[in-house]
Amino acid sequence: MLLATAVLLPFLLMLLPAALERARVPPALSAGLVALGVAAALAWLAPVVASGALVQYSVPWVPSIGLDFALRLDGLSLLFAGLIAGIGLLVILYAHYYLSDEDCNGRFFAYLLLFMGSMLGVATADNLLLLLIFWELTSLSSFLLIGFWRGAAEARQGARLALLVTGAGGLALLGGVLLIGDIVGSYSLAAVLAAGEAIRGDPRYPWLLTLVLLGAFTKSAQFPFHFWLPHAMAAPTPVSAYLHSATMVKAGIFLLMRLWPALAGTPEWFWIVSTAGLVTMLFAAYVALFKHDLKGLLAYSTISQLGLITLLLGLGTPLAEIAAVFHLMNHAAFKASLFMAAGIVDHETGTRDMRRLSGLARHMPYTATLAIVAAAAMAGVPLLNGFISKEMFFAETFALQPPWSWLMPLAATLGGLFSVAYSARFVHDVFFGGEARDLPRKPHEPPRFMIVPVEILVVICLLVGLAPALVVEPTLRLAAGALLQRPLPEFSLALWHGFNLPFAMSVCALVGGIALYLVRRYLWALHTRETQWLSGKHITEALVEALGAASARLHSGLERGGLRLSLLAFLVVAIAAGAIGFGGVAPQPTRTMLPGGVVPWIGVAVLVMATGATVVLHRERVLAVVAVGVIGLIVSLAFVKLSAPDLALTQLLVEVSTVLLLLLAMYFLPQRSPRDSSDARRVVDGVIALAAGGGAAVLAWAMLMAPGETISGYHLANAKPGGGGYNVVNVILVDFRALDTLGEITVLGIAAVAIVALLDRIELPARALDWEGRPWSSGHSLSLEVLSRPLLPLALLVSVYLLLRGHNEPGGGFIAGLVTGTALLIQYLAHGNAWVEVRLPPRYTSVAAAGILIAMLTGLASLAFGAPFLTSTFAYVSWPVVGKFELASAMVFDVGVYLAVVGVVLSILATIGRQHGKAEQA
């Protein structure tokens, strides 16, 4: 529980700094307290973990897909979470001084807490799917942090690039995790780690390994996916110190460590991981030497050091894994302090360009000292932490088979040599040399507390370097044990192991690196001739642009002749696919047909005639609307005949409203369509229409004649005992499938809102004459006016009756709503807008919204009784005089449906009707 609180604390409180943004100190203070709280919780749990127990917390989240909110704290998670909380705390303190008053520091700390929570989640997740969720959250929050200075194009591009690369990696990782889950049968980390044999033996192992590694390599900036990291340096420096040295880029490494027992130990693992690590280490160390930007140098050196850790993980020996964990810790300490030092230099001088910076040791001797110690740790100078983990790395490179037993040490020495050279450059170019001439600001020491985080980290570097066995060995043993999931081999952490080969390699690297730095000017001359286009950023951007251009070409190829052609293509494909589906075999009738009878024959004959009339007369719009009305009537008669009274009622009422609507709209539209399609086009359309109609008819007939069991038995049997109603259709609507109905009335509401919005400030030309050239009548029909008044109360009474009886007899909310709507519409028609609106304020969208809300609250009410959403209940009540009757909660739901339908119908028609009022006045 404490563990879950620690992980969720940053998420829960992330809005706190943003809320406190007005003042200068509170945002940083609140964020710092959150980080302190997390650190305290971890410290509280640390003794439990140290005793060998596993702290776990688990609640099911989505059990059907195997996703649990499961957390674990073992040695490895503890180490990682400790880094996240500890360095997070230092970075918050540092950032408070780094950010200027113009920066929205509340927003910054909110993002930072979001990131911290996500990283803690990655470190402690005990379920691979959960890990993936937090993994994606780190990508998103780092996007926000890198792009924090959103005014700068560089920051936006860098953020986008980082999101693109790490997001693509996350997608690959998802594939890998799903494969692992499929093989293991569970996403639980314990099950996955125990099933290493099964995973490695599966034929899909190469695929899942590649996918997981893609995820890890993109996150940890391994070659060839390293290029996003240098561009992410557009972020504020505290972000770089936190994300790009200590935490986020280590997430990929952490994943490799976490899954090491399950995935490692195969030739594929060795070759892919160690090659990627080796190439990254050498390539990035080389590039780092040529970066003139301080943060650029640090970015590439980070990539290189991450490559070193990856290489160690790839080697696969238990000792190499221990070295990897050790170097991960050391790197976090010295790199975070270096980034902070670089930020201080930038902050106090206004530039990060090493060609302009020079001789700063005179102005900021204290910062310089700290930076020099940290840089020495990075270079692997004895007495510092970097030296010890590098020695371990050098020793491990001998453990391979020839020719690697001499090639690998050579490559390792070369990598060390470059790291000495760029470290020397960092120190010498910035802090020594002559006085800098054209610095934007006069350099001086930073505020006292801005340097505290650097001090703490540098002291850690020193302590670990001087007394590793004392300071760091217990933590290291704990973490490495959790990584390997088996007893650790013998090893000793010591400053001095005697004159052996690794020490000789260290000396070579130190001497060679300094020599390389001395001859750097010749190298630069060589390097500047290197082609600029060979950068990952350019290649990615070119790829993205090419993809965009290709899809634009595809789109313009498909969308040539407007909507009609697209529709035509769609229809032809649908008809062809349907024809293939039939396979040329005529359906074999297996049911006996119902007898036709005279009335159905007449009905269909009228239907065919009315349809034909619609097609022939479609350009005479008023006549076509009348013909469509006839078709609608026939359809509702068909519903009556086919034992569907509810449908017949609904269809009839909708028909009335639709025709009214069409007539209202007709006022603003041309009354006739001109003949503007050619004969050839009409023939083509006709052929396609006949084919579609024929296909639909054959399909309907085949379906009607095929044997089929329906699931209606269940609904019929349970309507009364389960839903308390005899009208099964209504019980399905308001009870069995009430969620669908809720969705549907919501869609109706959305349609009404869209219609109101579309008609907002519309300008429609009023037409003085009708289609025969006669002026429109200005008054209202007297007979309609007289008749409509007594009709309204009658219709309302009928609709209430239909609503109340709907559960047991034909009727219900939809039908009652349409009756009310139609009754009110007739008032509009008979008396005009002004008359109605005086008597009935037109707030119909609110009525619709109230209806949807009532329906939703009915559903929520069942939650209060511990039942699932939208569970219904009913009871029989006995009143004197009235007698015994039934009350069902579903009826309240139906009232919601009723109100929604009334509100929607009226808001649609009244909004259009109002246009008439405007047009008449104009």
Partner 1 sequence: MELLLALGIGTLVAAGVYLALRPRLFSVLLGITLLSYAVNLFLLASGGLMVDGAPLSNLPGPHPDPLPQALILTAIVISFGMTAFLIVLTLRAVSERGHDRVDEDPGSEEP
Asked whether position 123 contacts partner 1 by CB under 8 A, the answer is: no
Q: Which of 1, 65, 526, 563 binds partner 1 (CB under 8 A)?
A: 563
Asked whether position 568 contacts partner 1 by CB under 8 A, the answer is: yes
Site string for partner 1, 802-831 (x = CB under 8 A): ------xxx---x---x-------------
Q: How far apart are CA 472 and CA 491, in angstroms?
A: 13
Give, to the nearest 10 degrees, the angle between helix 75-98 and helix 318-349.
Answer: 10
Q: Which of 507, 700, 797, 860 binds partner 1 (CB under 8 A)?
A: 700
429-468 residues near partner 1, rule: CB under 8 A: none
Q: Which residues of 369-379 are buried (b: 16+ CB within 10 A; e: fewer)?
A: ebbbbbbbbbb
Q: Which of 99, 308, 368, 647 binds partner 1 (CB under 8 A)?
A: 647
Asked whether position 572 contacts partner 1 by CB under 8 A, the answer is: no
Q: Which of 12, 762, 857, 887 binds partner 1 (CB under 8 A)?
A: 762
Q: Which of 744, 770, 785, 837 binds partner 1 (CB under 8 A)?
A: 744
Tell me how far, at minimum, the Cβ of 779 lies from partner 1, in Å. 25
Asked whether position 784 contacts partner 1 by CB under 8 A, the answer is: no
Tell me how far, at minimum, the Cβ of 740 lies from partner 1, in Å. 7
Closer CB to partner 1, residue 545 or residue 740?
Answer: 740
Helix (H, G, I), strand (E, B) or coil at 499: coil
Question: How many residues touch partner 1 (CB under 8 A)?
Answer: 115
Closer CB to partner 1, residue 174 or residue 617?
Answer: 617
Q: How far apart are CA 129 and CA 58, in angstroms?
A: 13
Closer CB to partner 1, residue 456 or residue 755?
Answer: 755
Closer CB to partner 1, residue 519 or residue 689?
Answer: 689
Closer CB to partner 1, residue 512 or residue 587?
Answer: 587
Using CB atoms within 10 A of its CB, is residue 564 exposed (0-12), middle (13-18) or buried (19+)? exposed
Asked whether position 767 contacts partner 1 by CB under 8 A, the answer is: no
Q: Which of 317, 500, 551, 673 binds partner 1 (CB under 8 A)?
A: 673
Q: How far apart are CA 323 and CA 824, in angstroms?
A: 81
Q: Which of 644, 796, 800, 849 binds partner 1 (CB under 8 A)?
A: 644
Closer CB to partner 1, residue 302 or residue 845?
Answer: 845
Tell me how far, at minimum, the Cβ of 19 lies from partner 1, in Å. 41
Tell me how far, at minimum, the Cβ of 753 lies from partner 1, in Å. 10
Asked whether position 849 contacts partner 1 by CB under 8 A, the answer is: no
Backbone angles phi, psi at 67, to 5 degrees: -100, 115
Q: How far apart are CA 122 and CA 125, in angstroms?
A: 6
Q: How far apart are CA 57 and CA 161, in angstroms?
A: 36
Closer CB to partner 1, residue 264 or residue 628?
Answer: 628
Q: How far apart are CA 887 and CA 899, in angstroms?
A: 19
Q: Which of 455, 740, 886, 920 binds partner 1 (CB under 8 A)?
A: 740
Asked whether position 580 contacts partner 1 by CB under 8 A, the answer is: no
What region, left, alpha or beta, does residue 25 occupy, with left being phi > 0 and alpha being psi -120 to 50 degrees? alpha
Q: How far apart are CA 117 and CA 34, in angstroms?
A: 10
Asked whether position 906 contacts partner 1 by CB under 8 A, the answer is: no
Asked whether position 631 contacts partner 1 by CB under 8 A, the answer is: yes
Closer CB to partner 1, residue 663 or residue 853?
Answer: 663
Asked whether position 917 contacts partner 1 by CB under 8 A, the answer is: no
Tell me how far, at minimum, the Cβ of 679 lies from partner 1, in Å. 14
Q: Which residues contact 108 (CB under 8 A, 6 or more apart)?
A: 17, 27, 95, 99, 145, 148, 236
Residues in the chain, how many? 922
49-88 residues near partner 1, rule: CB under 8 A: none
Asked whether position 615 contacts partner 1 by CB under 8 A, the answer is: yes
360-419 residues near partner 1, rule: CB under 8 A: none
Q: Which of 689, 739, 797, 887 binds partner 1 (CB under 8 A)?
A: 689
Q: Which of 266, 658, 871, 873 binds partner 1 (CB under 8 A)?
A: 658
Tell me how far, at minimum, the Cβ of 683 lies from partner 1, in Å. 11
Q: How far apart are CA 503 and CA 213, in angstroms?
A: 33
Q: How far apart are CA 391 and CA 527, in angstroms?
A: 30
Query: Which residue has 């790490």 as its token pair?
Result: 166
> Cα 170–145–112 angle (5° rounding)?
95
Q: Which residues pair with 888 in a beta bridge?
A: 874
Interacting stretch for partner 1, rule CB under 8 A, among 74-82, 126-134, 349-357, 718-726? 718-726
Q: Which of 438, 490, 676, 679 binds partner 1 (CB under 8 A)?
A: 676
Query: Which residue has 């992980």 as its token pair?
Result: 7
Tell me how far, at minimum, the Cβ of 810 lies from partner 1, in Å. 6
Q: Which of 628, 824, 836, 899 binds partner 1 (CB under 8 A)?
A: 628
- Report the first-to-last Cα separation within the chain, whole angstroms: 70
Closer CB to partner 1, residue 391 or residue 735?
Answer: 735
Interacting stretch for partner 1, rule CB under 8 A, among 176-184, 274-282, 619-627, 829-837? 619-627
Q: Which of 538, 641, 789, 918 binds partner 1 (CB under 8 A)?
A: 641
From the list 302, 296, 286, the residue with the least C-alpha distance to 335 is 302
Closer CB to partner 1, residue 419 or residue 614?
Answer: 614
Pairing state of beta strands 874-879 and 67-73? Answer: unpaired
Closer CB to partner 1, residue 712 or residue 781?
Answer: 712
Backbone angles phi, psi at 188, to 5 degrees: -65, 135
Closer CB to partner 1, residue 176 or residue 817?
Answer: 817
Asked whether position 600 contacts partner 1 by CB under 8 A, the answer is: yes
DSSP 434-481: SPPS--SS---PPPGGGSHHHHHHHHHHHHHHH-HHHHTHHHHHHHHH
Asked whether position 527 contacts partner 1 by CB under 8 A, the answer is: no
256-315 residues near partner 1, rule: CB under 8 A: none
Tell me how far, at minimum, the Cβ of 750 lies from partner 1, in Å. 8
Q: How far apart are CA 642 and CA 594, in angstroms?
A: 11
Q: Which of 60, 597, 793, 917 binds partner 1 (CB under 8 A)?
A: 597
Backbone angles phi, psi at 645, to 5 degrees: -65, -35
Asked whether position 916 contacts partner 1 by CB under 8 A, the answer is: no
Interacting stretch for partner 1, rule CB under 8 A, among 265-273, 483-491, 644-652, 859-867? 644-652
Q: Which of 701, 776, 876, 885 binds partner 1 (CB under 8 A)?
A: 701
Q: Which of 624, 802, 803, 870 binds partner 1 (CB under 8 A)?
A: 624
Sign of the four-CA dihedral 5, 6, 8, 9 = positive
Confirm if 426 and 375 have CB atoms less than 8 A apart.
yes
Tell me how far, at minimum, the Cβ of 640 lies from partner 1, in Å. 10
Asked whether position 511 contacts partner 1 by CB under 8 A, the answer is: no
Token pair of 476 as six digits: 């290291």
851-890 residues near partner 1, rule: CB under 8 A: none
Output the CA torsion 370→322→310→252 (10° steps): -80
Asked whether position 737 contacts partner 1 by CB under 8 A, the answer is: yes
Q: Which residues of 432-450 are buried (b: 16+ CB within 10 A; e: fewer)?
A: eeeebeebeeebeebeeeb
Q: Which of 449, 726, 776, 885 binds partner 1 (CB under 8 A)?
A: 726
DSSP 265-305: SSHHHHHHHHHHHHHHHHHHHHHHTT--BHHHHHHHHHHHH
Largest CA distance in the chain: 116
